[in-house]
A and B are shown apart, each in its own frame.
Chain A
Amino acid sequence: MTEHQAALSERTSAALACGLFLALAWLSTLNADGALLIARFAWVAALAGMAYRVFVTGRIGRWRSVFFIILAWAFIVQFKANLIGLTGRAFIAQDIQEVPYCHIAIASSFLNHVYQQYLALMSGVWQTWSPLTWGALWLVITLVLGQAWCSWACFYGGLDAGFARIRRKPLVKWNQLPRGLRELPAAILVAMLLLSLVVLKPVFCLWVCPLKLGTGFLDPNTTTRQVQLAIFILIGVIFLVVLPWLTKKRAFCGLICPFGAWQAFFGQVNPYRVAIKPEACVQCQLCVKACPTFAIDTQGLKEHKVSPYCNRCGECMDACPTGAIDFSVGWKRPLALAPGVARIAFLLSAWLVAGAVSLLFVPEVLVKLCRWAVSWFA
């Protein structure tokens, strides 16, 4: 493999990876001891190793994907393990299965949260103010990462990316969306916001979310439940598994996810952008093929523009033979920084935030897996 233009020297890469290790290792010491602390250190060391490979090769895609897929599957394992611990069953009971518990649900039923906050504030019951806390957390992540959340820390994205990376080459070529479908995630977001407000329930969770297949929706005892189950299966199989596997595109993230649309809008407050240098671009279209979320299309490339749906996965940069695509910093116009500074700053932010998120469940899953393995062989 030829050396990428963005590759850093071994010394610089090692220094950056060490910095990451120290920052995340400090976080790891919070509320942990014994086996969990060791697992956290081990995971942080692995993460720093992955970050080192990204810095030293200049290629983001491979090691980001490894990290991302581990994060996603660890979340699923941890979620299931917690569910069994909480309810004694692998599936959520009837009374709590309609409660939204992930960022996608929060985006699509945001107006409900605002209304609940209004009721909570008026009633003076402070225990019910928690959505504001989540809101503050989301704000911090959006300010630091913007849309990059979707390619660095979202477990849905990790599942989608996992299936998209199974094949080396796509079986079906699907490089760009019809113009009419480009705004589908935003349309889903608008529809879900309005419908959720009308029925005062998270409509995305009830009707669209394929992860519900793993919770209480395996109880199709009414026609409505059967229809919901059928929709979950269709969306899950088509958009999370089959299309990513066939096309190497993250179909759920690019076509369905309302949180992606939400971040594409609010993520504009984040200063990091993916920019195409007109003087270096040779219009080879390799970035169009490589982009897993349809954020670069032929027309956009002619104008050297990247769609707001871009979630900073770095695949286009890895594919670009001339180094024409790179990160930049600045809202309307990129700031004039020394070469590579924007890239290093973004990658450090991404590894730090995604690493901190992964610390919430990956080490615990490592501990569980080790214990299961020990008991298996004992």
Chain B
Amino acid sequence: MVRVIVEGWLLGLSTGPYCLGACMPFMIPYLFAEGKSTWGGNLRIIGEFLLGRLFAYLLFGAMAGWIGEVLRPHLTQHVTSLALAVTAGIMLLYALVKSVPHWKICAWTLAGLPAIRLPLVLGFLIGINVCPPFLVAVARLLQVGEVARGIVFFAGFFAGTSLYTLPLLGVSPLTRQVRFQRIGALSAVLVGSYFLLTAFLGQ
């Protein structure tokens, strides 16, 4: 079991920069727009985001261990497209609410989300967006074929990749300025639109 967790952790460490790249388009605009003036406040946001990712990874770890070879191609393809579209859609709605608060329709659509905690939701959805390192991890687990080992492997993978998200705290000083909050909200609209469009086009 120790070998499995170390293997997951090393895979996370070696491929983490790619994971950071996948998370940044969602996290940086969100932190600009919604970040707190204290490092602790932003650490909490990143913590929630990471928690969402952890849930996603553990879920996927369990599923990958359980499902084995049978459903692999269908699972990865469909879940990826759907998760990307949903993530982008939520991001876009959130950004529209921030950018044009007088558009009531967006506010109404997102009314339930604050209770669920947006960083957690985003973290979960990005967590199940399949990136190449994630695919490598899934492929390895499909060979293992065991639920417990799957969870442990992805816990290690999460720990390895999460180290790379800590530099995101560096944007904390910027989030105090209204200017950066506006930039964050607008860039979230653009990022959300891009991912929604590419998900729609099946890119």
Contacts and interface: CB of A to CB of B under 8 A. Distances in A.
Interface in B18-61: 21-22, 24-25, 28-29, 32
Contacts of B100: 180
B129 to A, nearest CB: 11
Most buried by A among B99, B179, B190, B191: B190
Interface string A173-201: 00000011111101110110011011000
A224 interface: yes
A223 B201 CA distance: 7
A194 B182 contact: no
Contacts of A186: 183
Given A183-B182, A183-B186, A187-B186, A197 B194 contact: no
A227 B32 CA distance: 30
A227 B182 contact: no
Interface of A: 179-184, 186-188, 190-191, 194-195, 197-198, 203, 207, 223-224, 227
Contacts of B179: 183
Contacts of B191: 191, 194-195
A133 B32 CA distance: 32
A188 B29 CA distance: 11
Interface residues of B, number: 23
Contacts of A198: 21-22, 24-25
A183 B174 CA distance: 14
B79 interface: no
Nearest to A181: B186
Given A197-B24, A198-B24, A191 B187 contact: yes
22 contacts: A180-B100, A183-B179, A183-B182, A187-B183, A187-B184, A187-B185, A187-B187, A187-B189, A190-B29, A190-B184, A190-B187, A191-B25, A191-B190, A191-B194, A194-B25, A194-B28, A194-B191, A195-B191, A197-B21, A198-B22, A198-B24, A224-B203
Contacts of B185: 180, 187
Q: Which of A191, A195, A223 has the most CB of B within 10 A?
A: A191
B197 interface: yes
A203 B187 CA distance: 14
B201 to A, nearest CB: 5
Q: Which 6 A-B pairs have the closest CB atoms?
A: A187-B186, A191-B190, A187-B187, A194-B25, A190-B187, A191-B187
A147 B25 CA distance: 27
